[in-house]
Structure 1
Amino acid sequence: MKMTAIFAVSASILLSGCMTESRYNQAQEVIRGSPAAKRDVTNRCYEGANKASPARKAEMAKIMNVSPRSNVARTYCTRAFNAIAAKRITYTDLRTRSPAFIRAIQGR
């Protein structure tokens, strides 16, 4: 499998709502070991999160402890995928938006 295909699979797995824990762990290893893959999934996340309504972005900004005038979508995606790559959040954390996930997107 070509590396670009692996990146695409990783992005689609992590961004889709239908993934298994095994596939999450596989994708996590890919983005943990490849800065290019992590950049790709972060950018794809940003494209989706940036389409959120201003009200939703303001809500996200409050949760993340950032200014609503900041690039909320970019901050969210960067923090989330950094935490995934660092194995600070698990599959369950991501699916349930657990306290560990909240801490990660808050930059803690």
Structure 2
Amino acid sequence: MRLLSIVALASASLFITGCVTETSYNRAQEIVRGSPAAKRDGVNKCYAGARRASPARKAEMAKIMNVSPRRDVARIYCQRAFNGIASGRITYSDFRTKSPRFIRVIQGR
């Protein structure tokens, strides 16, 4: 259980702060790829931080993600990002630079 909480904390900090090395990104990626519970916990921790974004930021993200601003933009962002990372569609470089590939994944394409 302690490992799960460490993974969740690392995963949440990965997506909330963006301050992560490629090694720790790859480690977190492998963990969420192999553990649905760790991925679920990471999404929940990401959501806890992302939902505190300002209404203006959420509206901006809704436009980028092609979703209605009335939807739970923070939850959708976290789910799509974690799914993309776990599947390998989002690389460390994509995440750091918010590349076109990253944008496509959070748009659900």
Higher mean C-alpha displacement, 10-19 vs 27-36: 10-19
Q: Is the 8 A contact 1:10 1:30 kept in 2?
A: no
Paired residue total = 108
> What SS does structure 1 have at the residue aligned with 2:103?
helix
In structure 2, runs of 5+ residues without a counterpart are: none
Paired with 1:103 and 1:67, the residues of 2 have a C-alpha distance of 17
- Aligned Cα RMSD in Å? 1.6
Identity %: 67
Please state whether the residue corresponding to 1:61 is helix, strand or coil. Answer: helix
What TM-score results when the alignment is normalised by the length of structure 1?
0.91
Partner of 2:36: 35
Q: Which residue of 2 aligns with 1:104?
A: 105
**SS of 2:71 mapped into structure 1:** coil
State the Cα deviation string for residues 61-97 of structure 1 (Å, max 9, x = none).
0000000000000000000000000000100100100
The amino acid of 1:51's aligned partner reads R
Distance, in Å, in 2 between the alignment partners of 1:13 and 1:59 is 22
Confirm or deny: 8 A CA contact 1:31 1:38 kept in the other structure. yes
